[in-house]
Structure formats: structure tokens, C-alpha cells
A and B are shown apart, each in its own frame.
Chain A
Amino acid sequence: MSRLSPFNVVSLTLGFAFLYLPMLILIVYSFNESQLVTVWAGFSTKWYGELARNEAFLDAAWVTLRVAFFSSTIATVLGTMAAYVLVRGGRFFGRTLFSGMIYAPLVMPEVITGLSLLLLFIGLGLDRGILTIVLAHTTFSMCYVSVVVSSRLVTFDRSLEEAALDLGCSPAEAFRLVTLPIIAPAVISGWLLAFTLSLDDLVIASFTAGPSATTLPIKIFSAVRLGVTPEINALSTIMIGIVTVGVIIASISTKRARVKAEADERMAQRTA
């Protein structure tokens, strides 16, 4: 039903303006000469220079990237295992509890997740720092990975795995040679999701970070509470830019992969 009425056009235009104008304003004003963010005083890139000289922000950015890399990588491994177990694992003791523990963190308010993990770390006597943030981020993002991967596994034709097993593959080989290549796009998007969730997280990181390790969101939050600053605008612009480029590349490459898969299928049908 593709009949756009004037109402549809207006609501789409206003809707996307609402979604994008705030970020556009942020980007434009990051190039503002003036310290006053709401008054335009001419084009300048000086806030990017200021940002590059701000040691505290750079340190926090480096901590954040390391945390995001490690937590998303561990979460992808654990989340893929969990998805495989849930979809293919059959029955085992405590399966209901397991699937409950996969879905509960998705709806758990962040303040509660953060609080409970902090209480655990204190109980264990673990010093709060990069390690504790990685543990915390891995725990909630593995659940997101598992949901993304299991939705792919559910639609996956099981007979392909069975064929590999019939042809003499061990279960591990069947997984590596057949299952993994097919679910790879879901695994990659799970990793990306885990990575951005970790980059973005303020609440859980605030509970689990110690004085030795501050992440970028924590730094931004404490700066932003005091007011709007052009430096934060510059930082936001860089982050928005990276995400936009990333999403565009990802969508182009999945589109290419789909076109290629369709071409392969047509070829296969012709030769058959």
C-alpha cells in the first residue's frame, strides 16, 4: 500500500526533523567560535583542538574503548554459546532458570544491575577498575548478543548441520564449517551491539568504576551536569560521526552480501 497522503508526508518530515534536528544543532554549534554555546560567533575548529589537549577526556576515552573491546568480545563468545544452547541444546537441568537469566537483564533497570554488581564486587573484595566494568558490561551485553544470535539460529535450516554430521563431520567441525559461517552476520551485529552498549553505558559503569578508571560517559555526565560546553559538543560530533559512518558501511555491506547470496542462489538453481 504505497499511497502517501499529504498527512503521511507531513508526519514523516516532522518526525525525521524531530529525530535529527537536535543532533544537527549539536554538530553545527561544535564549530562555534564562542564559548557561549547558544550564540553563534563564527566558524572555528578550536574546540576540537581543546579536546585533543584534554588529557582527562583522552584517558577516559582510552579506558572506554578497552572496556568496550574486551567486554563485547567476551560477551559475543558467551552470548553465542548461550544462544546455541537455548536453540539447539535440548533439555538440560535448569533450562528455565537459564533462559530466565538471559532475558531478565534485558528488562532490568540499569540502576538495579549496577547496584547489585557493585555489592557483589565489594563482597568479593575486588578493587573497582577496568576489570569490574568489563565483568559488568559482559554480563548484560551477552544477553543482547544471545537474543540477536538465537533469532538467527531459529530460522536456520537444521538439515544443513545434519548433512555435515552425516558426511562425517564432528559436531565441532559442523559448527565451525557450517553453522558459524551462516550465523556470522548475526554474531557480528551482536558484537557491534555489545560494543556500542558498552561505549554508551553511564549508569552501570558509574556503579562499577573506581577512582582508577573513569569511562567517557562518566566524564561527559559530570561535565554536562554543570552546563552545555562547546568541548562536549565537539566530542559528541566525533562520536556521532563514527557511528554514522559505521552504520552506513554495515548496511551497505549487508546489502552487498544479500545481493551476492541471491546471485549465488540463482546460479545454483540454473546449474541444478
Chain B
Amino acid sequence: MRRFLLIAFPYVWLLALFLIPFAIVLKISLSDVALARPPYMPQFSWDEGIGAFLSQLDFENFTFLTTDDLYWKAYLSSLKIAAISTVLTLFVGYPIAYGMARAPEAWRPTLMMLVILPFWTSFLIRVYAWRGILSQEGYLNQVLMWTGVISEPLTILNTNIAVYIGVVYTYLPFMILPIYAALDRLDGSLIEAAEDLGCSRRSAFWLVTIPLSRPGIIAGSFLVFIPTLGEFVIPSLLGGSGTLMIGKVLWEEFFNNRDWPVASAVAIILLLILIVPIVLFQKNQQRQAEAEG
């Protein structure tokens, strides 16, 4: 009995507040817009029966998504922005993780804490901080003009470049930590062996260190790529009108256009796209666990 309750409580909670809401999104994505409250139809009613209800559902919203340029462009552009920022985060994060793994043992807990600390600080505030830095009269332009690198202020805020910077900045800990974990486990004698066998330090790095830290690189990349794909805060605070990301499109479709069925259809497609990287990520994690176990 006690075991039953232990399982039932979290189970029922998740069914009610995760699975059922999701089923509702799926259902509304197959419904039509209506000038009513709530603004979609058909409404389910037991009187008419399930058959009549199901027969009114259709894929119209999904065909609409394929006919209007905005949506597939937004999906493509989200994929592109997520991919570019993931690569940039890797280039910024790897040297930091590598430096941490080579730092003296006594420093490492402090360095770890310094990487994790920003993660506990408000995401919104960390994104907001860059608005002051990147704007026309912002600190970056002030410094660059003062040092004479540029004579005209650069326009960075409200462009995709600002979005890349924002993603790299906020998701950097997710990249650093798995790579650091992989490098920390790496057996130093393998590198010594490579060097003894005539590798230069640099080629030992490319031939031994990088391949052995691959699981960390893959894990970190997915941990950045997956959440960036549906990101809303960064494109809306740092991006411009030209920054097309699907999270922002969904938000506007829902709050500004009040088109719930289309917003739901946008959500369903986004999830279908996300399945691929999520499954690949899971596989990577499993392989790693097996290799260790």
C-alpha cells in the first residue's frame, strides 16, 4: 500500500501536469481557429461522442506551416543559429576546460566553483548584462573607440552576432563541465607515452587528448545545442527584427496573434525536430556509461 502511494503521487502529478497538457497541445494543433473563448474548435463533448470529435480534427495547421515561408525559415534559422553558437561555444569552452584539467590539483575545486557560479545566477540578468555592453553607446564600443581600433561605433546589439555572444556566454558552463570531466579522467601516462614515442606536444594533443575527450565534446555540444534551438530570452533581448528563431515565433503566434492552433502546431514540429539530437545525446551518454561500467 505504502509502495503504491509512493509511486502514485509523482506518477499522477506528471500524468496530470505533463502528459495531459501535452496531449492537449497535440489536439489543439489539429483544431481550427475560432472566434470564441477558448479561441479554437472543436470543443470536446461527451454528448457528440468521440467519433464526431475526431472527424473534425485535421492537419490543416501543419499544411499551413509548410505554405507560409515564415515558419520553415524560422526552423532553419533556429537550427543554423543553434549549430553556429554550439561550435563557437566549443571553441571558447575547450581551452578553458583544458586549462582547468592541467591546473594544479589544489586550484581545481575553486575553478569548478567559478564555472558553476554563473549558472546559479539569473539567466535573464546574464543576458541583460550584454545589452549594456553591446549597444551603440555601450561599453564595448566605448573601449574600442577610445583605443582607436574603430572610429565609428559597431552595430552589434539586435543582430545575430549578439545572439551568438549571448548563447556562448550563458551556455558556456554546460560545455566546459563535461569536457573537463572527460579530460580529468584522461590517463596522463597516455600522453607521456605518445611523447616518448616521438610525438610533439602539439601532435600528442591532437592525436591523443582530443580523441579521448570526444565523449565530453559530444555531451557538451548537445547540452548547448538542444536548449538553444527553442531559446526565447536571448533572441528577444539581444537579437533584432531579422533574428528568426522558432521559440520567438511560437511566443508571438500565441501572445500577439492569439492563434493557438498554429502555435500548437509550431510546438509539435519543434519537438519532432528535437527528437533527433535528444536520441543521439542519449546514445552518447549510454555508450559512455558502458565504457566506464
Contacts and interface: CB of A to CB of B under 8 A. Distances in A.
Contacts of B233: 202-203, 221
B251 A111 contact: yes
Given A19-B118, A243-B120, A104 B237 contact: no
Given A15-B99, A25-B133, A217 B124 contact: yes
Chain A at the B interface: SS class: helix
Contacts of A217: 122, 124
B77 interface: no
B99 A11 contact: yes
A263 B251 CA distance: 54
B138 interface: yes
A236 B247 contact: no
A26 interface: yes
A53 interface: no
Interface stretch (A41-49, A112-120, A159-167, A179-187): A112-120
A23 B126 contact: yes
Contacts of B124: 200, 202, 217, 220-221, 224
A81 B10 contact: yes
Given A115-B263, A119-B21, A120-B17, A18 B92 contact: yes
Contacts of B102: 1-5, 8
A18 B5 CA distance: 49
Given A25-B129, A38-B138, A122-B38, A109 B121 contact: no
B6 A15 contact: no
Contact of B232 (A98, A142, A203): A203
A25 B169 CA distance: 15
A89 B137 CA distance: 59
Contacts of A29: 132
Among B99, B231, B264, chain A packs the most CB atoms within 10 A around the CB of: B99
B36 interface: no
Nearest to A172: B2
A115 B121 contact: no
Contacts of B113: 247, 251
15 contacts: A12-B99, A19-B118, A22-B126, A22-B130, A82-B10, A94-B11, A107-B226, A109-B231, A111-B250, A112-B230, A116-B21, A123-B38, A138-B17, A200-B123, A202-B124
Given A111-B247, A122-B38, 20 more contacts: A5-B102, A12-B96, A12-B100, A12-B103, A16-B96, A20-B118, A78-B10, A109-B227, A119-B38, A120-B20, A139-B13, A139-B14, A142-B13, A146-B10, A171-B2, A202-B124, A217-B122, A243-B121, A244-B121, A247-B116
Interface of B: 2-3, 6-7, 9-11, 13-15, 17-22, 24-25, 28, 38, 92, 95-96, 98-105, 109, 111, 113-118, 120-126, 128-133, 135, 137-139, 142, 169, 172, 186, 188, 191, 226-227, 229-233, 236-237, 247, 250-251, 254, 260, 263-264, 267, 270-271, 274, 278
